[in-house]
Amino acid sequence: MEGPTSTGIPNRKLAMWSFIGSECMLFGTLIATYMIYRGRNLVPPYPHDLLNIPFITVTTFVLLMSSLMMVLALAAVQRNDLRATKLWLGMTALFGLIFLGGQYYEFNHFVHEGLPLSRNLFSSTFFVLTGTHGAHVAGGVIWLSTLLVRAVQGKLDARHAETVEIAGLYWHFVDVVWIILFTLIYLLV
């Protein structure tokens, strides 16, 4: 319904990118806090007691591949291949869910190992940082599921490619954040 824009970029796409720019600051602040407090924890358990690299590598891989599914969904809807669109949208959301399941398992495990949220400085920074990321993933899964439902109803086709693209931008950004968190939290433990 909107006419041509001054930059040639659709309004919603420009808005999503601006939002992502803002989100950089949100995660930047959370990451800064985590990094500043790294090594200052006074009460056990400590990060290296609990962090499980092989396990998190698997879920990291799943989230990374969900980004591939996402671009495939976009490519499919752009060429109006609705079957492939449904398939890849569904796969993206599913992989997102698997990641969230992994996070749920991880959190649960940590709590059982004696690390509830209020335990120490590590628990505070770790849970709030990864939890914020997880909340973003959850929001993305809901968004993608909505698109999937629309696609199944036959209400999503090449005319809505921009909508899928914008959801994709969000999804990839959340993935990019995890790329950073994976390195900073787990590999630089």
Partner 1 sequence: MSRHSAESHPSTRLYIAVAVILAALTALEVMVFYIEALAPVLIPILLVMMAAKFALVAMFFMHLKSDGPVLTAIFAWGVFIATAIVVGLMAIFGKFGA
Partner 2 sequence: MAMTDAHSTGIGSWLTTVDHKRIAIMYFVVGFAFLLIAGVEGQLIRLQLAAPERSFLDPDLYNQLFTMHGTTMVFFAGMPLVVAFFNFVVPLQIGARDVAFPRLNAFSFWVFLFGGLFLYASVPLRVMPDGGWFAYMPLTNAEYSPGPGIDFYVLSLLISGVGSIAGGLNFLVTILNMRAPGMTFMRMPLFTWMALIVSALILLAFPPFTVGLIFMLFDRRFGTHFFDAAAGADPVLWQHLFWVFGHPEVYILILPAFGIVSDVIPTFSRKILFGYPVVVFSGVLIAFLGFGVWVHHMFSVGLGPVVNAVFGGATMLIAIPTGIKIFNWIATMWGGRLRFRTAMLFAVGLVATFTIGGLSGVMHSSPPADLQQTDTYFVVAHFHYVLIGGTVFGLFCGFYYWFPKATGRMLHEGLGKAHFWLSFIALNVTFFPMHFSGLLGMPRRTYTYAEGLGLDVFNLISTAGAFIFTLSFVPLVWNLWRAWRRGEAAGHNPWDASTLEWTMASPPPHYNFAEIPAVDRRDPLWHPYIEPESRREGDEPGGVVPRQQPEEPPEPVVMPNPSYWPLVLAVGMLLMTIGGLGSLGLTLFGLLVTAVGLFAWAFEPPFGGGVH
Give yes or no for residue 149 binding partner 2 (CB under 8 A): no
Give yes or no for residue 12 binding partner 1 (CB under 8 A): no
Give yes or no for residue 114 binding partner 2 (CB under 8 A): no
Query: For partner 1, how many residues bind (rule: CB under 8 A)?
Result: 52
Give yes or no for residue 180 binding partner 2 (CB under 8 A): no
- On whether the CB atoms of residues 128 and 30 are closer than 8 A, the answer is yes
Q: Name the strand (E) or helix (H) holding 44.
A: none
- Among residues 179, 187, 159, the alpha carbon closest in space to that of 52 is found at 187
Give yes or no for residue 117 binding partner 2 (CB under 8 A): yes
CA distance 166 to 14: 9
**Residue 174 corresponds to which tokens in the numbers above?**
């959340």
Q: How far is the CB of 34 from partner 2 (least distance, A)?
A: 11
- Of partner 1, partner 2, none, which one sits near residue 68, judging by CB under 5 to 8 A according to partner kind? partner 1
Place of tokens 């929001």: 139
- On whether the CB atoms of residues 169 and 16 are closer than 8 A, the answer is yes
- On whether the CB atoms of residues 171 and 144 are closer than 8 A, the answer is yes
CA distance 4 to 163: 17
Q: How far is the CB of 79 from partner 2 (least distance, A)?
A: 25
Q: Name the residue nearer to partner 2 (CB basis): 74 or 166.
A: 166
Give yes or no for residue 123 binding partner 2 (CB under 8 A): yes
Q: Where are the beta strands (DSSP E) in the chain?
A: none
**Binds partner 1 (CB under 8 A): choice among 51, 82, 111, 158:** 158
CA 141 to the chain's CA centroid: 9
Residues that bind partner 1 in the complex, under the rule CB under 8 A: 7, 9, 13-14, 17-18, 20-25, 27-29, 31-32, 35-36, 38, 53, 57, 60-61, 64-65, 67-68, 70-72, 75-76, 78-81, 84, 158, 168-169, 172-173, 175-176, 179-180, 182-184, 187-188
